[in-house]
């Protein structure tokens, strides 16, 4: 099992854009210094508490100041880019990172982001745009013969070389193929079914544990429908809210009153309830929505506690899911309490994930008859 983080990145209202940016960059450098495998960087345009747009500016700076950490866009919001432009951005980032990048791709679930670019979120057109863009980008990265590769939403062409190949399509990723990923959050996620069908790496937001197995089932179903190879659970990322403390009581207090609890109180919790996803947060789906507070989440839904308690909870999550290969801790602005936050991440990296790696392994794959 490998360990990573998802950096939204979130920031409190008093944090300036400049201070938030350099805090994010410092965090990437620190993660690299303790040996964390990967960090995912989010991207939003109209989310006031998560002002990271576009994410590749931070990612490019991160590559220049780290050595081993995989720094992954999580995600590029595909409808916002012409696929030819995005294919070249990805290729360039992959080269300057020396191939230490997995690329998250998504349609966005932020209605104001989509509205700003004139995309109708209710129509589902953004999902169609993602699939078309992936097809065009993969063609640009693999095909050499000139020709029209346009689709429904974008016109795109591989040009005829000119002036004895001085002008031609030539920028392709360093990794061949470059790993692409897609994220799902709701039970039986349609996004993860699409990821399986397109042969993308699955990443699960695990707000609660009771539905997490349905994510892999949706992914497998999509892969089977498209005739994709049997997927490996070693590639499955699970994103989880995790706080480790010296004692259960200390961890619970920091989870509720620290940066994670404050961000959930001010943004995630009201947003998820408004989106109709409250059930995903519950210990028991029959609990009333009114019960779901930050305190409820910290006690019943998140992974919070001492080292031993967190080990037990993550082991339970592993068995509930059926097995996964990369655990990612959701990360938050912690400039006001750096030592407590980073102690929690250090415990995960140095003690808890190594323990789980030795004790657990992804569920063996059974070949089709």
| pLDDT at residue 368, rounded to an integer | 41
Q: What are the residue ranges spanned by the domains of the chain? A: 2-271+302-359
Q: Could you tell me the two tokens for 20?
A: 């938030």
Helix (H, G, I), strand (E, B) or coil at 120: coil
| pLDDT at residue 121, rounded to an integer | 84
> Residues 113, 116, 122, 125: what is their CA dihedral angle, to the nearest 10 degrees?
-90
d(CA 11, CA 262): 10
| pLDDT at residue 122, rounded to an integer | 86
Number of H helices, E strands in the chain: 14, 13
Contact 173, 90 (CB under 8 A): yes
CATH 3.30.420.280 fits 2-271+302-359, yes or no: no
Q: Could you tell me the two tokens for 58?
A: 């931070």
| pLDDT at residue 363, rounded to an integer | 52
Profile the chain (369 residues) by mean pLDDT over runs of 10 residues.
96 96 98 98 95 94 98 96 98 98 95 93 93 98 97 98 96 97 94 97 92 96 96 96 98 98 95 88 90 96 98 96 97 96 98 96 48
- pTM surpassing 0.85? yes
């Amino acid at each position: 099992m490998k360990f990573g983080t998802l950096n939204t990145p979130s920031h409190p209202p008093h944090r300036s854009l400049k201070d938030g940016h350099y805090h994010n960059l410092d965090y990437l450098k620190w993660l690299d210094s303790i040996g964390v495998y990967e960090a995912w960087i989010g991207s939003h345009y109209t989310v006031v508490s998560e002002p990271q747009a576009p994410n590749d500016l931070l990612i490019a700076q991160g590559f220049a100041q780290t050595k081993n950490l995989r720094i992954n866009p999580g995600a590029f919001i595909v409808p916002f880019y012409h696929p030819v432009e995005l294919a070249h951005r990805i290729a360039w980032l992959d080269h300057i990172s020396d191939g230490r990048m997995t690329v998250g791709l998504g349609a966005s679930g932020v209605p104001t982001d989509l509205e700003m670019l004139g995309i109708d979120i209710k129509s589902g057109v953004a999902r169609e745009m993602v699939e078309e863009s992936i097809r065009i980008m993969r063609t640009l990265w693999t095909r050499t013969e000139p020709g029209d590769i346009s689709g429904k939403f974008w016109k795109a062409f591989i040009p005829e070389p000119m002036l004895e190949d001085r002008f031609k399509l030539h920028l392709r990723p360093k990794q061949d193929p470059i790993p692409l990923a897609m994220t799902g959050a709701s039970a039986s996620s349609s996004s993860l079914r699409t990821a399986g069908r397109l042969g993308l790496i699955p990443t699960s937001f695990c707000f609660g544990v009771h539905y997490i197995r349905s994510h892999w089932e949706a992914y497998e179903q999509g892969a089977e429908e498209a005739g994709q190879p049997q997927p490996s659970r070693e590639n499955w990322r699970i994103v989880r809210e995790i706080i480790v403390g010296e004692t259960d009581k200390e961890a619970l207090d920091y989870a509720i009153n620290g940066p994670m609890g404050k961000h959930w109180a001010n943004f995630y919790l009201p947003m998820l309830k408004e989106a109709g996803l409250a059930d995903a947060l519950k210990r028991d789906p029959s609990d009333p929505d009114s019960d779901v507070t930050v305190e409820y989440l910290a006690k019943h839904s998140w992974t919070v506690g001492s080292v031993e308690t967190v080990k037990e909870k993550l082991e339970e999550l592993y068995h509930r899911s059926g097995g996964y290969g990369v655990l990612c801790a959701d990360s938050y602005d912690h400039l006001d309490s750096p030592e407590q936050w980073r102690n929690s991440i250090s415990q995960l990296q140095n003690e808890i994930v190594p323990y789980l790696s030795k004790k657990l392994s992804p569920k063996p794959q059974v070949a089709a008859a």
